[in-house]
């Protein structure tokens, strides 16, 4: 099962410690173009989470067409998650539908159906769905529609982390899964951490 590391810390420090690491990053309006150009040249960024739907939270990013244009321009192959679809931001981002993905607004297959765009990707966060049946219904729908998937979590620890890894290994093992081992959430960037891909977990219950 392939995984990426989601970090709001120093991406370059992580790549110095583990050059083959793949990253999921959260651009914000403080990012300068030169910084993003440097990130793009690493070739290790797989997902950029624009966090347009986390309103009233500490991770909210105000939709900004300038940021969106820069992201689209500098990262042409990267999955763009939770982009705002209205106004000038929508004008910039809608042509990129084949690499758009959604996370925060998705709690059921009905939420996928009601999207105002046909995305090419979906971030499947099991904890958002409430039941295994609702989770599998959404996975089945995405698979039937050709929507590529990758797994995500909400900082599940212990067996929860292993469960989201198990689901990723079953349904979207080659996706840029945001289900890195919990070692990546403890301590500074350092060599010797588990590498991607991981073997599929086994012997787990739900």
**CA–CA distance, 19 with 47 (Å, rounded to integer):** 17
Reported as a single tens digit per residue, the pLDDT across 41-98 is 999 999 999 999 987 776 778 999 999 999 999 999 999 999 999 999 999 999 999 9
Backbone angles phi, psi at 138, to 5 degrees: -70, -45
- Predicted model pTM: 0.94
Q: Residue 55's pLDDT is what?
A: 75
Reported as a single tens digit per residue, the pLDDT across 128-152 is 999 999 999 999 999 999 999 999 9
What DSSP element (H or E) covers 148? strand 148-151
Q: Please, which pLDDT band fits residue 160 given cuts at 50, 70 and 90?
A: confident
Domain boundaries, the chain: 5-185
Backbone angles phi, psi at 3, to 5 degrees: -135, 155
H-type helices in 114-192, by residue range?
132-145, 159-171
Reported as a single tens digit per residue, the pLDDT across 106-127 is 999 999 999 999 999 999 999 9
Q: Residue 206's pLDDT is what?
A: 62
Q: Residue 204: is its pLDDT beyond 70?
A: no
Fold of 5-185: TIM Barrel (3.20.20)
Q: End-to-end CA distance of the chain: give it in Å, rounded.
A: 19
Q: Residue 184's pLDDT is what?
A: 92
Q: Residue 158's pLDDT is what?
A: 75
33-37, 85-89, 105-109, 161-165 — which is least confidently predicted?
161-165
């Amino acid at each position: 099962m392939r995984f990426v590391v989601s970090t709001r810390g120093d991406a370059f420090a992580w790549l110095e410690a583990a050059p083959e690491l793949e990253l999921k990053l959260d651009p914000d309006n403080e990012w300068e173009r030169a910084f993003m150009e440097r990130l793009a040249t690493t070739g290790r960024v797989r997902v950029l989470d624009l966090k347009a739907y986390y309103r009233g939270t500490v991770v909210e990013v105000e939709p900004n067409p300038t940021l969106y244009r820069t992201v689209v321009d500098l990262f042409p192959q990267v999955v763009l998650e939770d982009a705002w679809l209205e106004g000038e931001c929508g004008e910039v981002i809608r042509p990129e539908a084949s690499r758009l993905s959604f996370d925060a607004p998705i709690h059921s297959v009905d939420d996928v159906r009601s999207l105002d765009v046909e995305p090419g990707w979906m971030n499947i966060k099991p904890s958002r769905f409430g039941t295994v049946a609702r989770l599998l219904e959404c996975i089945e729908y995405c698979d039937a529609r050709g929507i590529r998937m990758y797994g995500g979590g909400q900082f599940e620890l212990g067996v929860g982390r292993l469960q989201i890894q198990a689901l990723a290994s079953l349904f979207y093992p080659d996706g840029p899964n945001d289900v890195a081992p919990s070692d990546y959430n403890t301590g500074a960037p350092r060599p010797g951490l588990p590498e991607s891909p991981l073997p599929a977990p086994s012997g787990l219950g739900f």
